[in-house]
Chain A
Amino acid sequence: MRIDARNLLDRLGKNDFAYKEFEDRFSELELWPILEALLRDPRLQAIDQAEATVAAMPEPAPTEVVETYSGESLSSLFSRYGRGPAADAPGDRRGGSQQQDVRAMLRHLSDLGSQGKI
């Protein structure tokens, strides 16, 4: 870290610093095609099956998670895509449920952003 930055943090009495940009306007963005491709890949579902394995394990382990998270399984996330007004909003030229799913995911990311979770 640069000495001037460190001095500033010391003066502010902060020991770290997280940059927070203004909220992204996900709805105005083109989606990232890689996310769309990944969401189509059935192999990602393996993580949900593993979730079931964890659930089947006896006696929950003690837990301390550093980061917030939604606690939702991927399948429930998938099933939610495409619902809600933005999926058929005017100006969505793409059509097709897969695109709507990704739009819904981006909307969900936007929600997380506005909740300060991104």
Chain B
Amino acid sequence: MPVIVTHGLKGGAGTTFTAAHIAMALSEAGADVTVLTVAKRDTMPLHFGLQPAMTLPSLFAPAEDAVLVAGIDLRSLTTAPEDNDFVPALRDLGFLETGQDKVMVIDIPSAEFAFARRVIPHASASVCVINAAPDTLALMPQVLAEASPENIAATSFVINALDETRRLSRHSSAFIRELVGARLLGRIRLDESVPEAIAMLQQLSKYAPSSAALADAKAIGTALVPALETPGRPWVARGSSPASSSSRAA
């Protein structure tokens, strides 16, 4: 039961959105997926087309209380960031092993970076979601200085909400690409249909099947499938030749 951690460098980067779609892509690839949200103010249910009043059941709640959307088990544990026994508890529940039978996607709000730091060494993949924006870039040196070399090495990056019509956005994205190199998993384009689907209380795949952000996020989730098979150490995007890049939009 491998764990995939998603975290953001700055609030509002789209980590929760990306985590939801990674979970959906892994589920479509045949994995049995649990999503764990640790946010005290949680918007995860909205990405699954659920009502705003929805509160997710605890990770430890019995199976009959489960909220399942398209086979994905949605759970919450707001105490996890302060709980030093969280990682042992995960291990007791049978997570932290490899294989597709059971996968957990943990969505960590950007403010809980200390918690992310503790969980990443146990994860099969660590995905850091960033925006191609100057204020996000400005935080990169501090974030890199604070993280351990092992955690940096274990982390793959996703650029979210990329607006290719904006010069600064393109330049910032090129800067990030140069900086993180092979560990860039891909980019998700800025797409109005993301908030619109939330407003419609629908899953993005239902509301806007041709959404650019949907296609991009799905490609990123699919790219993470190999991560489920790396026993005992974090999987890292190591890149390939540009020719093997398949999902770039025309």
Contact = CB atoms under 8 A, between A and B. Distances in A.
Interface of A: 1, 6, 9-10, 14-21, 24, 32, 34-35, 38, 41, 43-44, 46-47, 49-51, 53-54, 57, 60-74, 77, 105, 108-109, 112-113, 117-118
A1 B208 CA distance: 7
Contacts, number: 176
B174 A118 contact: yes
Nearest to B226: A62
Question: Secondary structure of the B side of the interface?
Answer: helix
Contact of A66 (B140, B152, B191, B223): B223
B178 A63 contact: no
Nearest to A18: B249
Interface string B166-185: 01101101110111111111
B240 A65 contact: yes
Interface size class of B (residues with CB under 8 A): 35 or more
Interface centre among A54, A71, A77, A117 (most CB of B within 10 A): A54
A34 B179 contact: no
Contacts of B250: 18
B215 A65 contact: no
- Interface SS of A by simple majority: loop
Interface in B155-204: 164-165, 167-168, 170-171, 173-175, 177-187, 189, 191-193, 196
B249 A32 contact: no
A62 B227 CA distance: 8
Nearest to A61: B235
B245 A47 contact: no
B211 A16 contact: yes
A110 to B, nearest CB: 10
Contacts of A20: 164
B239 A1 contact: no
B144 A63 contact: no
Interface string B84-98: 000000000000000
B211 A67 contact: no
